[in-house]
Chains A and B, each alone.
Chain A
Amino acid sequence: MGDVTVDALRGVDLDLPAGCFVMLLGPSGSGKTTLLNLAGGLDTPTRGEVIVFGQRLSGMNEEQLTRYRRETVGFIFQMFNLVPTLTALENVRLVAQLVGNDPLSQGALADVGLEHQADQLPAQLSGGEQQRVAIARALVKQPRLLLADEPTGSVDFETGIEVLSLLWEETRRRDMTVIMVTHDTNLASMGDLAIRLHSGEVVEVSEGAALHPRELQ
């Protein structure tokens, strides 16, 4: 018996406009995270092409992908993924220094309302606060593309709304392109565009209402 090949994504053909807030929706295993990872240069497609702001990711080598992630993309993870030994400010500065934006670090932390928690280690922060730090870390790079994978998946509902509000406001203010993965269909109307996936295929592309997360309640 040979190996079984499972396509995470099949026949996906999307053209997303710059500057819009895209919601990727679908049940577990639908391929939304794979799509996000392809856009972020964390994964490469076995077939087909991924082009972001005119850059063809599918042909890039490891070094080029690293530069792409460094200069173009900001990531927000479900589990926050902060460096546990660095304080909140240091986590932001770590990335800021990588792209030469160190002077913006303090401001980025203030933008997410954590200027008074700057010296706290991640273990001393709540889940919501950790995710705010992660947002500040992503934003300090001033990326053109922000990718968020279930950013509220590890926090409670109220905190989730706070995190989403912050994300929505900051990215709108900066006119950033955002792709956010969620399995919560209630969040669909938060984006400019909602893409629904199922079993690796795009089943629906619809315009969103671009509602502020607080309006979703």
Chain B
Amino acid sequence: MRRSTPVNSNDVARQIVGTMLWRKLWADTRALAGQTIALAVLIGLGVLLFIGLYEAYQNLTLVYNRIYDSTRFADASVLLESAPASLVDTARTIPHVRAAIGRVVRDGAIIQPGRKRERVLGRFIGVPRGHRPQVNDLWILDGGYVSNTEEAVLEHQFARDNDYEVGDRIKCSYQSREREFTVVGLAASPEYVYPVPSKHTMFVARGIFGVVFILEDRVREWCGVGPQINEIHCLTDPGYEHQVLEKLEGLTRSYGLEFAYVQDEQPSKRLLDMDQQGFAQLSVFFPILFLTSAGLSLYGALTRIVRLQVTVIGTLRACGFGRQQILVQYVMQGVLVALGGAVPGVALGHLLAVGMNRLYADALHLPVASAVPQWGTILTGLALAAGTGLAAAYLPARLAANLLPAVAMRGEVESGRRLQAQRLLVKWTRLVRVVYRIPLRGIFRRASRTLFAVAGIAGGASIIITTFGTYISTMDAIDEYITDSRKYHIDLQFARPGAGVLAQAASGLPGGRAASLTVSVPVRIRSSWGSGELILTGLERGQKLLRVNTVSGRPMTVEPGKVWLPKQLGHQLHVEAGDPVRMEWVKASRRRRLRTTMQVAGLLDVAMGNSAYGEFHDVRRTLADQAWPYSSYGANFECDPTTVDGFKHRFERSDDVMLVSTTADVIKEINEQMAMLYVFIGVLLGFGSVLAGSAIHSVASVSLLERTRELASLRSLGFSAWTTAWLAGVELFFLAVVGLIVGLPLGAVLNRLFMGAYQTENMQFRAILHWWVYLITIIIVLVLVIFSAYIGARRLRAIDLSQATKALE
């Protein structure tokens, strides 16, 4: 005979009770739908930003890694003046080197009559015949690889910007020796995903720097190089790149070692990494702000719910519900609200990531794209949201769980400390008219609510300030780089020393105004404290076309024997005006000791660029003439603005000119690149305002709900609806003022930290905040306060006084 399992009545009761508690949880959430949605949206925004930015970062990393892996991007490289080709065989014997190549690379000009730019900067890289490079291979996107000396493969971004297609002819010039090639392929190169010619070049306008891959023997013959190489690139065993690089440096030091770098220091990769670091930082910085504020909002809301439900909780406890059950009930409410926001946040965040990756892929013409959902990030986002909900809900839940049933059923919550605080306020606010004491003391009525409001408003205000700060600092850097510094219209780079006469002659033509010669040479600068690398630029004495300000705000003036240093380098080297520094050509070797000692003229306050400045003839004589062709001669040319195009074409047609770039083109290029920044600024301003707005609105509605009976009583006693609304509004205003008092300096500090995170040797953003940023922030917050107060006043007018005076607080 089978015996039926006895049903434990306690289990059944527990099940019913459990179900009912869940129903209560659901009913509570529905009853506060508006606020629940607002909180969920806030948490959702945090998750959205986290997923959007971090997934974009991860997918970009995937794309770059795919390009790097497929093309066997070098792990360790050296750039030399010149070394025998056999040196690469020695490099191959270095332990942990898996493959090594030696290359011959030369810079010259690409001449393209009839195209938008008639003469641009060209880099000619020799590639092996019959097989693809073992290191730094090409990703052929269209056409094929070179098979004879008349063919060339073009870097695809340059090709796209200058309308080259497979089958077109391209004319290249090296030291006035011109050669024409047939374009047989368009390719992406791991070294030029972000196309910059060198680590000293911070900004290159789109389409003015082209990389041309030609058979190595053709480059040798054309450029008169012989059996020499000037670059070695190695693939190493994972983790051994630094060790290999050290050996490689030792091996090549006597051959004019200019630059030795591991993959992470390669100029293109470094710029991309900086960009990605920006993503990574943003993906943490802003979500933290949002989730913190959302957590505080949730904490405030749940505390209010607990207070509203004090008698219910007391009754539940009296009926036999345990503390644990009450605790779990309210913690779950927080977690569910958080997850309710997080789930759509994840979906929208993924879409944001896809959109950002697409924008990036378009901007950099990346050959591949990735929009793979990053499940680890998604789970982290959900965990962050759940954690925020859990952390925010724990204290109110504990408060609920620890309520004494007898006290709670009377609708009371013991709080001795608050009473003490209010006693103090009674003393402090005695002099104020009684009716004004209500909002003043209301601020301190609920410490948690005040804290939450202040945190929310401060968080929102600081986002608004940081956003404006980013914009102003970026614009300041650009303004200084373009408007304040460049007083010329055309920047010329010559194909040979002495071609400056061309610019000087042109300045005497109709429309021409002035020409000032320049010379640049990459140098290593040393003091007794250390060393740094930068471009030493020589300017003519008394020139007025390039204006660079010193740290004291006055324009620099160059003198022989003296050098002006960027202040960040000056600080790094611990030098000041009058100190001697040693300048050495970066490719100096035992065979070519190119060095000189100069006196520091002073330090420069520059936001963009990494140049030191000396006197033209001094720089030319001591370093540049001897470093040729690794130095660069040019001129700044000023003319009537209506004649810029005419002069540009005139210069482009000259064989003595390698590159012509107009200030207008640079501005246009910068503006195009700034479009993304404007979108970014707009989005962040919106987010900041939403954050401050949700905090203010949440506080306003919480305050109104909590004090319905009090405000209704005041109206019953004869206070007008306007006066009661005013009382609630003034309290909100006080909270906003406290929030701003915290938020404005916090914003300034965050802005400083934020801008500091983007400092590089090429970019020194100043953390600038104008007074109007604070004013706008205050106005935004006050408008939000007025809006919330207005909604509160409308609600207050609609209140049913007879019911509200009986409501339980």
Contacts and interface: CB of A to CB of B under 8 A. Distances in A.
Interface of A: 33-34, 37, 40, 42-43, 62-63, 66-67, 69-71, 73, 75, 77-79, 81, 83-87, 90, 93-95, 97-99, 119, 121, 123-124, 137, 141, 149
B132 interface: no
B437 A66 contact: no
A69 B717 contact: yes
B423 interface: yes
B719 A123 contact: no
A90 B716 contact: no
23 contacts: A37-B801, A37-B802, A42-B801, A62-B797, A63-B720, A66-B720, A69-B715, A75-B713, A75-B805, A78-B806, A79-B805, A79-B806, A85-B437, A85-B441, A86-B438, A90-B426, A90-B437, A94-B434, A97-B434, A97-B435, A137-B717, A149-B805, A149-B806
Interchain residue pairs A-B with the least CB separation, the first 5? A70-B718, A85-B441, A81-B713, A37-B802, A42-B801
B714 A83 contact: yes
Given A66-B719, A95-B717, A43 B802 contact: yes
B721 interface: yes
Given A33-B802, A95-B718, A121 B423 contact: yes
A46 B643 CA distance: 83
Interface in B395-442: 419, 422-423, 425-426, 433-435, 437-438, 441-442
A141 B717 CA distance: 9
Given A62-B797, A71-B718, A124-B419, A83 B426 contact: no
A34 B806 CA distance: 12
Contacts of B442: 85
Given A77-B713, A97-B434, A87 B801 contact: no
Given A79-B709, A85-B442, A86-B434, A98 B801 contact: no
B541 interface: no
B801 A83 contact: no
Given A40-B716, A94-B438, 4 more contacts: A81-B710, A90-B437, A121-B422, A141-B717
Contact of B721 (A62, A79, A87, A141): A62
Given A42-B802, A43-B801, A81-B710, A87 B426 contact: yes
Contacts of B721: 62, 66
Contacts of B709: 79, 81
A84 B418 CA distance: 11
B218 interface: no
B7 to A, nearest CB: 40
Interface in B793-808: 797, 801-802, 805-806, 808
B805 A81 contact: yes
B422 A69 contact: no
A60 to B, nearest CB: 13
A94 B721 CA distance: 16
B719 A75 contact: no
A99 B717 CA distance: 10
B807 to A, nearest CB: 9
Contacts of B797: 62
A109 to B, nearest CB: 13
A81 B797 CA distance: 19
Nearest to A97: B434
B438, B445, B719, B805, most chain A CB atoms within 10 A: B805
Contact of A84 (B710, B716, B717, B802): B710
Interface string B705-749: 000011001111111110000000000000000000000000000
B445 A75 contact: no
Contacts of B715: 66, 69
Contacts of B445: 84-85
Contact of B434 (A75, A81, A90, A121): A90
A99 B435 CA distance: 12
A69 B710 CA distance: 16
A124 B442 CA distance: 17
A78 B802 CA distance: 12
Given A43-B801, A81-B709, A66 B423 contact: no
Contact of A94 (B435, B716, B808): B435
B434 A34 contact: no
A149 B803 CA distance: 12
A42 B716 CA distance: 7
A166 B660 CA distance: 99
A155 B802 CA distance: 21
Contacts of A40: 716
A141 B718 contact: yes
A34 B716 contact: no
A119 B426 contact: yes
B710 A83 contact: yes
Contacts of A66: 715, 718-721
A97 B801 contact: no
A62 B713 CA distance: 15
Interface string B499-529: 0000000000000000000000000000000
Contacts of B720: 63, 66
A82 B661 CA distance: 77
Nearest to B412: A123
Nearest to B802: A37
A40 B434 CA distance: 24
B426 A98 contact: no
Contacts of A63: 720
A68 to B, nearest CB: 8
Contacts of A70: 717-719
Contacts of B717: 69-70, 75, 94-95, 98, 137, 141
B435, B445, B710, most chain A CB atoms within 10 A: B435
A98 B426 CA distance: 20
A99 B718 contact: yes
B102 to A, nearest CB: 82
A39 B785 CA distance: 36
Contact of B426 (A43, A69, A81, A121): A121
A79 B718 CA distance: 18
Contacts of B441: 85-86
A43 B712 CA distance: 12
B806 A69 contact: no
A77 B806 contact: yes
Nearest to A98: B718
B802 A34 contact: yes
Contacts of A79: 709, 805-806, 808
B419, B425, B434, most chain A CB atoms within 10 A: B434
Interface string B175-192: 000000000000000000
B175 to A, nearest CB: 86
B714 A85 contact: no
A33, A85, A94, most chain B CB atoms within 10 A: A85
Contacts of B808: 79
A63 B721 CA distance: 9
Contacts of B805: 42, 75, 77, 79, 81, 149
A19 B434 CA distance: 32
Nearest to A137: B717
